[in-house]
Structure 1
Amino acid sequence: MGAENQTCVSEFLLLGLSEKPEKQLLIFGLFLGIYMVTVVGNLVIMLAIGSDSHLHTPMYFFLSNLSFVDLCMVSTTVPKMLLNILTHSKVISYAECFSQMYFFMVFAFLDNFLLTVMAYDRFVAICHPLHYFTIMNPWICGLLVLISWTISLLNSTLHTSLVTRLSFCSEQEIPHFFCDISQVTKLSCSDTLINDILVYFAAGLLVILPLTGILFSYSQICSSLLRVPSPRGKYKAFSTCGSHLSVVSLFYGTGLGVYLSSSATHSSWKTSVASVMYSVVTPMLNPFIYSMRNKDIKDAMRRIISKI
């Protein structure tokens, strides 16, 4: 029975957001625009931070890393989608699919960890301002980023390795615009119990724990701000957290939307749309959130434009 049903799959079919030919041009134009805005926005943030010595601080070091990760995450999925629309093809090879799945998980988890590290940075800056540069020294900042990369790479390697051990039947259609691990696992005709348990365990350990850390950091920040007598001091302290809070809300809000939509509905289209918000729209909006709410970033951008 297994020998008959299990085949050596060399490629998958990405069904995308719509199978209607008349909508392909609209989707192509929309995602091309989003991708270009995302690339330019995140590159400008990294350039502004790298070129301005005033921004060589822990907060902006983490922000430049977040911009790099956002740029990589959207580059993992959107270019292949655009190429398939342009060539009127839905094919993605086995190797491409698993590479896309692996790197998307790496960058998604990195986003999660970097936002946690940035919350800790704000906690130290506001609750322990006199010891800020002692605690958040360059060695500690580099170590925190290195740990984030290491955990993300190991976690994604484990997930992808387990999926490669699965056998895939004749069904090769992925109702998504990229190779999401949950959608690929559903195509398997092997027992996926271990894979499912690992996914839920990783989600609980590597998502809920960082989110708990973020919430704890901001609870301490709010407690400290309540003790600040000056309204101007409160505003200045909160303004340094406003951008990060907005990004955290967007990231976890859309991520939770993906989870709830996939659990509450059997519509693959609704799940895909929710995933667009999480994996494409969020990386595009992050540079705007930080540039609009941050005077230092605005000033650095003005200096770059004036030099040009």
Structure 2
Amino acid sequence: MATENRTEVTEFVLLGLSSRPEMQPVIFGVVLIMYLMAVLGNTLLVLVACSDPKLQTPMYFLLSQLSLIDISLTTIIVPQMLVHTLSVNRTISYNCCMTQLFSFMTVGSMEVHLLGAMAYDRYVAICDPLRYSAIVSHSLCLRITLTSLVVVSLNSLLYSVLVTRLTFCGNQVTHFFCDITPLLKLSCTRPVINEMLIFTEGVAVVPSSSYNLEQDRQVAIFYTLISPMLNPLIYSLRNQEVKGALRRLLRKLHLRQLPAWISGKESQ
């Protein structure tokens, strides 16, 4: 019977940030600008870190991975949010909702692991600089990244599978994406196992939220848009090494395009 009730919910309705029609164009414009800035800033950082020989260090490897995570995090959430902002139909299919939940939890948890690895990297560099190169290596950073990815993927899969086993009594999600907390609120019965995981095992991977749903939406804006937009500026783009690498990259691209431009001008 529980299975039959669950399968009745074939899609969810994402209520978004605001129900006021006059606010939708404003929200769309602000979110679009922030999204483009986040993607552009993080993409520049990845290109610079991967192309410049002077930045082939563990610290910049971790920073580039953080930028990739930020790009993924915003892309999982924001494009669909923008479509729903200017659309009357704000539905998302059940399977897409579960996929978004799994992807968001995986990428969001991975960001926490990377920040921890970056903190360890800087701790060793400051407290034990003479042995830094021997302790922190590219292979260590790669192992940390891959191990963290496996751990968070399995953890997110566990959460997602448990959510799919719930019986939903409604389909209106008080959020702008499929997050675990508003989905648990739709359960007909108290999701005891899910709550136990969130407040015990989940603390080690994602610090659990004590906010209500309205506060959750406000906080979600910060970690899906504001934080990815500011991370490149905070961690790298104000760094003189990164600025120098960015100038070298732009100069290299300019010089590659210059002969074609000159030849085109001469042919005219």
TM-score, length-normalised on structure 1? 0.77
- Verify: 1:121 aligned to 2:126, yes or no: no
2:15 touches 2:172 (CA, 8 Å); kept in 1? yes
Structure 1: how far apart are the matches of 2:118 and 2:110?
A: 12
| AA matched with 1:180 | D
1:220-299 alignment runs, 5 A limit: 259-262=209-212, 268-299=213-244
Identical-residue share of aligned pairs (%)? 43
SS at match of 2:211: helix
Report the number of matched residues. Answer: 253
Structure 2: how far apart are the matches of 1:6 and 1:41?
A: 42
1:212-227 alignment runs, 5 A limit: none
- Displacement of 1:292: 4.2
Aligned to 1:196: 195
Aligned to 2:131: 131
SS at match of 1:162: helix
Aligned to 1:306: 251
Deviates more, 1:292-301 or 1:154-163: 292-301
Aligned to 2:105: 105
| AA matched with 1:276 | I
Aligned to 2:180: 181
Aligned to 2:266: none
- Verify: 1:63 aligned to 2:82, yes or no: no
Structure 2: how far apart are the matches of 1:121 and 1:192?
A: 39
Moved over 6 A (4+): none
Q: Extract unaligned runs of 5+ from structure 2.
A: 255-268
Q: Extract unaligned runs of 5+ from structure 1.
A: 209-255, 263-267
Structure 1: how far apart are the matches of 2:194 and 2:154?
A: 15
1:45 touches 1:67 (CA, 8 Å); kept in 2? yes
Residues 7-29 of structure 1 show CA distances to partners (whole Å, capped at 9, x for unaligned) of 52110000000011111111111
| AA matched with 1:294 | N
Deviates more, 1:79-88 or 1:27-36: 79-88
Aligned to 1:50: 50
| AA matched with 2:173 | I
Aligned to 1:161: 161
Give the direction of change, closer, same or farther, for the CA distance of 1:192–1:260 in structure 2 (3 Å limit): closer
1:6 touches 1:189 (CA, 8 Å); kept in 2? no
1:16 touches 1:175 (CA, 8 Å); kept in 2? yes
Aligned to 1:218: none
Give the direction of change, closer, same or farther, for the CA distance of 1:66–1:175 in structure 2 (3 Å limit): same
2:45 touches 2:237 (CA, 8 Å); kept in 1? no
Structure 2: how far apart are the matches of 1:269 and 1:162?
A: 24
Aligned to 1:234: none
RMSD (CA atoms): 1.9
- Displacement of 1:3: 8.4
Aligned to 1:144: 144
